[in-house]
Amino acid sequence: MGPAERQFFHGYFGVVIAGVIIGAGAVSLQLLGNPPNLGLCLGCFIRDTAGAIGLHRAAVAQYIRPELTGVVLGAMAAAVLGGQWRSRAGSTPFISFTLGIFAMVGILVFLGCPWRVLLRLGGGDLNGAIGLAGLVVGSVGAGLLIKKGYPVAETTDATPVAGVIFPVMMLILLFLLALEVTFKPGLALFFSNVGPGSMMAPMIASLAVGLLVGILAQRSRFCIVGALRLAALERRFVLLVGVLALVVTVVAMNMAIGRFKVGLVGMPISHTDYVWSFLATVLSGLAFTLGGGCPGRQLVRAGEGDGDAAVFCAGMFFGAGLCHNWALTAAPDKMIDGSLAMGGPGIHAMIAVWVGIVFCVLVGILGRRG
């Protein structure tokens, strides 16, 4: 990527364009069949894909999401064409893997990754504001640990094959979806018949949006937790303006199509346990920031050849299976016979959130250099 192109995509105008297109893509995917207020929740998509390959058996969350492959391959193509692809490995892979696990705990207790925090806000779900507050606390807290010497996303050069393994694995998943592979009756692949996992846009549209998002996110370095951290601690607002552009676009499009509904109760795939929504997103903010970026940024970095990001993503896949198999998820609120049945996390999920917060803080303190 030349100086002029870098200046464009890393400047306000380029980042705003990225935010607008990502937001428009998310709402478009909702119109085409993806779940409401969840059109492009990459953390949730990792959960669905983990279910499809049998890492968990939650029947409502099983579908190989083509958007994931699209983001990784789009980022890889953009990095190769821009001369930025470089195979590299992290110095502490198991820490990255564990951070990925706890990031997924936060996602599945809040019921959404940092991308869905914005999408929920853009659909009028005010629970998203609680999630955003938690993300700010978590990302800024992790940012302070980074300023004190925690080596975020520190990598060294690796053999080229190390950088292509994750994109190839994502491509294999896409082929399995396209070919509708079933290995044996009763075994993977699994596909939801009900719930959010059964709601999907056409595969080609999902892949196309994912590719476009991957290209734009790679070029602009779009990252939600990074935007919050840089704005709060370094007074650098470029990425934050892109995040705001995404939210404004989602609000405008939802209003235009009649899907903007303001409220706290009865929102799609949401619960009203505000304390745990806040704490869960504090955990997400900590884990993603210490790990080098939000789920979109992790997938983009994995596409760029970053093995540390690939390990973090692997931790998220594993964490999704762990959360569902160990009851570490929250339940959404539901209407039963005209009455609202409150959802939220159970005791095991609450314990997991606190363990995750303590783990992240300890890693940030004990892993400092200098």
Q: What is the pLDDT of residues 76-128, one digit of tens each?
A: 999 999 999 999 998 889 999 999 999 999 999 999 999 999 999 999 999 99
Tell me the pLDDT band of 4, cut-offs 50, 70 and 90.
Answer: low
Give the pLDDT mean for 60-68. Answer: 97
What is this structure's pTM? 0.95
Tell me the pLDDT band of 322, cut-offs 50, 70 and 90.
Answer: very high
Residue 5 has pLDDT above 90, yes or no: no
Bridge-based pairing of strands 344-345 and 334-336 is unpaired
CA angle centred on 130, ends 366 and 321, rounded to 5°: 60
Residue 333 has pLDDT above 80, yes or no: yes
Give the pLDDT mean for 337-344. Answer: 81
133, with CB counted inside 10 A (0-12, 13-18, 19+), is: middle
* Structure tokens that stand for 144 in this block: 């302070």
Residues paired with 340 in a beta bridge: 335
**Residue 122, SS3 per DSSP:** helix
Give the pLDDT mean for 150-159. Answer: 86
Average pLDDT, whole number, for the chain? 94
- Helices (runs of H) and strands (runs of E) counted in the chain: 15, 6
Could you read off the pLDDT of 279-307 as tens digits, one per residue? 999 999 999 999 999 999 999 999 999 99
Contacts of 110 (CB under 8 A, 6+ apart): 117, 131, 134, 276, 277, 280, 281, 284, 330
- At residue 370, the pLDDT reads 64
Helix (H) or strand (E) holding 172: helix 160-178
Does a cis peptide bond (omega within 30 degrees of 0) precede residue 246? no
> For residue 330, which of 273, 284, 370 has the smallest C-alpha distance?
273
Q: How many CB atoms lie within 10 A of CB 256?
A: 10
- At residue 43, the pLDDT reads 96
CA angle centred on 155, ends 365 and 367, rounded to 5°: 10
Task: Specify the residue for token string 């290209």.
Answer: 215
- At residue 3, the pLDDT reads 66
Q: How far apart are CA 47 and CA 174, in angstroms?
A: 16
Tell me the pLDDT band of 328, cut-offs 50, 70 and 90.
Answer: very high
Tell me the pLDDT band of 336, cut-offs 50, 70 and 90.
Answer: confident
Could you read off the pLDDT of 194-227 as tens digits, one per residue? 999 999 999 999 999 999 999 999 999 999 999 9
Q: Cα dihedral sign for 109, 300, 158, 289?
A: negative
- At residue 188, the pLDDT reads 78
